[in-house]
Structure 1
Amino acid sequence: MKRFTFWLLALLLLLGPHSQTASAQTVNIDAALRYWEMTDALRQDQPLTDAMWESFLAVPANNRYVKSVFGSNLADLNSYRRAIEVVYRPSLDSLRQAKLAAKKWYYVLVNDYKQREPEYRQYLTETARQPAYLDLMYRYAYEYLPQRAHTTVQNLQLAYVAIGNDAISEQAGLVFSLKSAVDWNKPKNGILEAHEMHHQLRPGLDFSFAPESDQALLWALNVVLNEGVADLIDKKAQLASPADSAEIHRWLLAGAPGVIHKLDSVLQVGARATGPLPAISYYRRLYKGSTGHLPGFYMSRIIERNGYVRPMLANVDNPMAFFQLYQKAAQKDKTHPPQFSAAAVRYLKQLEKRYVAAARASAKNASEAAH
């Protein structure tokens, strides 16, 4: 199968008061093309063999996306594989219809890819030829970043996959599922890409020097900040869209108060030092697999609504500051969102004093050594 890699040049990004130097962008669609090659065989009622599946997963963008979204959950990944075979093979159509009638999510998702394939193919063709979002993703990301982070990513790698409904941002670049790229951008073009670009540009702190007993909690606090601030770029626009509002409420807002109450309980345990804190697996379950979107978007909305965006961006690398700003905003907010206990806030301040200055000093030293 012929491979297509499209080299794109953003000639000038007029973002803010200063022009940014253009850099090459690579948009790779190999993973999507391999998906359609694989499903063409399934349409001929060929079985989805281990060899076909492993070859599909070996495509770099598929490999990165699957590792990020499914992790070590092989049961879910195998369920997704089965859904692909059932949806595309003619001899399994009665089973497909039964799964769709039962609203089994993986079958609904794969069926969307089957039914909308012409739309997705057209999107890829237009995106590869002239991606309209290249300047927008920086412009929108900069709105929720401090001035020092208004930079560009050199030789940015972007890729599209034809599986799932998510996007990932890693050092190796950005990977978008076609469904998320098409649907999530409907309220405002470029906001999904801007969300992922925010992750590339946001200054972060390395807390790996902290003792293992604190690592999971620091991770849990940091992912809430990481996704919460970036969600103001795209989830806020989706919340204002009649087509998406109900889903955003269901997914990210309705359950957030309960999650905040449980985080408060964890922080109180830490404050009392009466026992070990939960492992990362606990927080993944608590966040419903959202890696911090829940309760991050809920918290960042409260912070923004009550006028604390500027201090939030000034401390966009500091998860403990984010939680303390939420506390101030919640105390002020007329909708009476849940607040953290006094003991939890004291513990957040202890964690901040213990780790933030040291992490910032380490980052500064590393930067100076690199230059």
Structure 2
Amino acid sequence: MKFIIILFLLILSNYLSAQNLNTESATKFWKIIDVVKKDIPISNELWSEFRNAKADSLWFGMARQLDKNYELYYRNAIEIVFRPSNKSKLDSIINLPKDNSRNLQNIFVIGMYQNYFLNEQGIREFYKRVSETAYLDTIYNIAITMLPKKFKKPTERLNALNIYIHGIESGANATRHGIMFSMAGLYNFEKEHFGILGAHELHHLLRVSKLKGSIQSNHKFAVDIMESCLNEGSADILNNLPVFEKPEFTDLKTMTLINSEEKLRTIDKWFSERFADTSKTRSEEEIATLFNYLGGHNPGYFMARTIVVNGFKNELRETIDNPFHFFLLYQKAAKKDKSKPPTFSIKTINFIKQLEKLYYNK
């Protein structure tokens, strides 16, 4: 499981609190790259300066919980990829077959090569653009396209928000410390659609579900599933829909949509069983397995995309605080969709409506 989580961390990642654009980590990353490209090894002093930047310290702290060698893998990857004297070693690693023979160190090297080495000049130029732009205003204006039209801008909250730009991997994470973006992640998503990845993360902060009361233990699994699917699926519309048809997003698209229909059938089975038998419930581990340990992206994006392409985007926006309606709206969209995606049984629909009456605060 740890291997799966780290793999996803290398591809996309999923963790909130951004007006203050902190580029300390990014600046120090390029300082290291400039040194290593001269075939000079990274000194402990230089590395300490880099890893003690706020964003890096936070990231490495989280990553260490997944693998104690994470930071070492990353440091080694920089030297293998960017030091000219390591070219033969780099060539041997990037030409490895795409199978389980790749160990974690090699995966870090390949990620560094694909994300930063091949795109170095483009990322440097893009990073400069982000640094010189009112980035928060840009991503806010995109994020609110998936929020109710009468949404009130939380100015004070936004002014207190921190955005960190760093050079680790290719993800975008939302933590209690702030929104953290890797330069590679921003570049990959935003080089042609400026602001969409940032909008995804900001949407998580701005969207709040109106749930009420204490959720019963035998209802919690269902509410958690619906909330996760809405949370990630609605935000994914902002950044995935514009780019997923491009070849470079094939792997991420596959991961986000693989077996989505089967996952919906599983959810239907679980919900209908629970409606018929109040003793039926599902564990957190079962839910995590259903989601491939990636939160509600899959099948959330499949559901949100089905809703949007069938003409119900405005209704989704106006009910973005209601995870129960998200599932009911998917049902309506799926019945309209000519590709005939899975629909829910009457037992499942009745169960969702029952939960909505109990827990949605109108």
The alignment's TM-score, normalised by the length of structure 2, stands at: 0.77
232, 236, 241: which one pairs with 1:236?
241
Q: Residues 349 and 76 of structure 1: is their aligned pair in 2 closer, same or farther, counting only changes over 3 Å? A: farther
Q: Which residue of 2 aligns with 1:165?
A: 170
Deviation, structure 1 residue 201: 1.6
Q: What is the count of residue pairs matched by the alignment?
A: 330
Preserved CA contact (<8 Å) 2:264 2:299: yes
1:297 maps to 2:301? yes
Preserved CA contact (<8 Å) 1:26 1:158: yes
> Aligned partners of 2:91, 2:209: CA distance in 1, in Å?
46
| Structure 2 counterpart of 1:308, one-letter code | F
1:119 maps to 2:141? no
1:72 maps to 2:65? yes
Q: Residues 270 and 47 of structure 1: is their aligned pair in 2 closer, same or farther, counting only changes over 3 Å? A: farther
Deviation, structure 1 residue 328: 1.6
Deviation, structure 1 residue 38: 4.6
261, 267, 272: which one pairs with 2:271?
267
Q: RCO higher in 1 or 2 (8 Å CA, sep ≥ 6)?
A: 2
| Structure 2 counterpart of 1:209, one-letter code | S
Q: Residues 251 and 324 of structure 1: is their aligned pair in 2 closer, same or farther, counting only changes over 3 Å? A: same
> Aligned partners of 1:222, 1:182: CA distance in 2, in Å?
29
85, 91, 108: which one pairs with 2:110?
108
25, 37, 42: which one pairs with 1:31?
25
Preserved CA contact (<8 Å) 1:150 1:201: no
Q: Residues 93 and 304 of structure 1: is their aligned pair in 2 closer, same or farther, counting only changes over 3 Å? A: same
Extract unaligned runs of 5+ from structure 1: 1-23, 361-371
143, 146, 149: which one pairs with 2:145?
143
Preserved CA contact (<8 Å) 2:219 2:281: no
1:219 maps to 2:227? no
Aligned-pair Cα RMSD in Å = 3.2
Deviation, structure 1 residue 117: 3.2
| Structure 2 counterpart of 1:225, one-letter code | L
What's the secondary structure of 2:141's corresponding residue?
helix
| Structure 1 counterpart of 2:226, one-letter code | L
Q: Residues 89 and 192 of structure 1: is their aligned pair in 2 closer, same or farther, counting only changes over 3 Å? A: same
1:154 maps to 2:159? yes
Q: After superposition, where does 1:240-319 map in structure 2 within 5 Å?
A: 241-244=245-248, 246-247=250-251, 249-271=253-275, 272-279=277-284, 281-319=285-323
> Aligned partners of 1:71, 1:229: CA distance in 2, in Å?
30
Extract unaligned runs of 5+ from structure 2: 1-17
Q: Residues 41 and 188 of structure 1: is their aligned pair in 2 closer, same or farther, counting only changes over 3 Å? A: closer
Preserved CA contact (<8 Å) 2:230 2:300: yes
> Aligned partners of 1:253, 1:45: CA distance in 2, in Å?
43
> Aligned partners of 1:346, 1:93: CA distance in 2, in Å?
61
